[in-house]
A = this chain, B = another copy of it.
Amino acid sequence: MKAKIADLVRPDLVDLKPYKVEDIPHRIKADANENPFDMPEQVRKLIADECLRHQFNRYPDPAALDLRGALAAELNLDVDQLAIGNGSDELINYIMAAFGGHGSRVIFSNPTFSIYGIFAKVWGTEVLDVPLSPDFQLDPDGIISAAKAGDRSIIFICYPNNPTGNCFSRQAILDVIEHSGAVVVLDEAYHEFAGKTFLPLLGNYENLIILRTFSKAFGLAGLRVGYMMAGGDIIREIMKVKMVYNINSLSQKIALILLKHKNEVFPYVEKIMQERDRLAGQLDSMKGITPFPSDANFILFRPSTDAEAVFSELVKNGILIRNLNKPGLLQNCLRVTVGKPEENDEFLGILRGLHE
């Protein structure tokens, strides 16, 4: 009896395409909303020291208690209100595992971070996207109706939103949390660049989950550390589906070191915000370029000329940004991650050459 792989695959996956990471040669990487500043030298040395004494041969602490304890102290939460993921990606996956699946629906705005939709499909969850308004605002009524039409729903709201860069209206989000009857996930991956958060309201809503990450402001994308804040009832369900040893022991230690040395890391965040505002101002001053307001470490913009040609010209000059051009709200749109000052200057120089 010969098994045919195609017949053994979960039917949910037949039409699923894997998330594709562009592999285009470049000198300047401005496509993935990473922090352009690598680890400060003194923090790097502490990490190397940790490696000289680290217990590599033992399984990591499955509860990540030291890291959760430090985050709890930092954020004024209980340890029970926190879960750690191998990047926020893994926490998004666990949210689907705990609250998604057949018979439930995942709802998000369009456009937003594409991973919500991909993981929903992996879990066999119905996906509904509700368009943003032309000025990139949330449609709370559309989202609430979509949630109420199903038995169980998960709503993802990215705040500030990727790829548009803006923070949605606070009242619209509160409406969704209060009236949808769904698990509402606020993905605050970029919150340090916005200075806005729903965290003080966490205790008011048992259906609220807030996600954050060490990948952006902390500049730790390589090590995959995200965290989730929610009420104890939600965290308990997440713990049921969590892989025991999901966070490696070195990433736990390094995230702890970074938390302790926040003051050495955060001047970079200030710098990125200054550069973002400078970049936005410069783009705005160029004829034929419309940048959209950003509370994050990236800027969405629309050239009046062909976005594909602008993208290609940047690639030809070794600068990789994200080409988001597709019919709808993102028609002819590109997204650039805020880089180091000299990287931003190079990027601006090429755009200027094309638009003057």
- A binding-site residues for B, Cβ under 8 Å: 1-3, 5-13, 16-19, 21, 29, 32, 34-39, 44-45, 47-49, 51-52, 54-60, 62, 86-87, 89-90, 93, 97-104, 115, 122, 124, 152, 178-183, 206-207, 215, 219-224, 231, 233-234, 237, 239-246, 248-251, 254
Contacts and interface: CB of A to CB of B under 8 A. Distances in A.
Contacts of A124: 101-102
A222 B58 contact: yes
Contact of A237 (B2, B13, B246): B13
A1 B221 contact: no
Given A89-B243, A207-B5, A223 B99 contact: no
Nearest to A1: B181
Contacts of A103: 11
Contact of A56 (B12, B87, B223): B223
B8 A89 contact: no
Nearest to A234: B5
A222 B180 contact: no
A181 B3 contact: yes
Contacts of A104: 10
B207 A224 contact: no
Number of copies: 2
Contacts of A38: 55-57
Given A9-B98, A48-B49, A59-B222, 9 more contacts: A13-B97, A34-B59, A38-B56, A45-B52, A58-B222, A87-B245, A102-B102, A222-B249, A250-B250
A231 B12 CA distance: 21
Nearest to A207: B3
A244 B21 contact: yes
Contacts of A100: 10
A97 B243 CA distance: 14
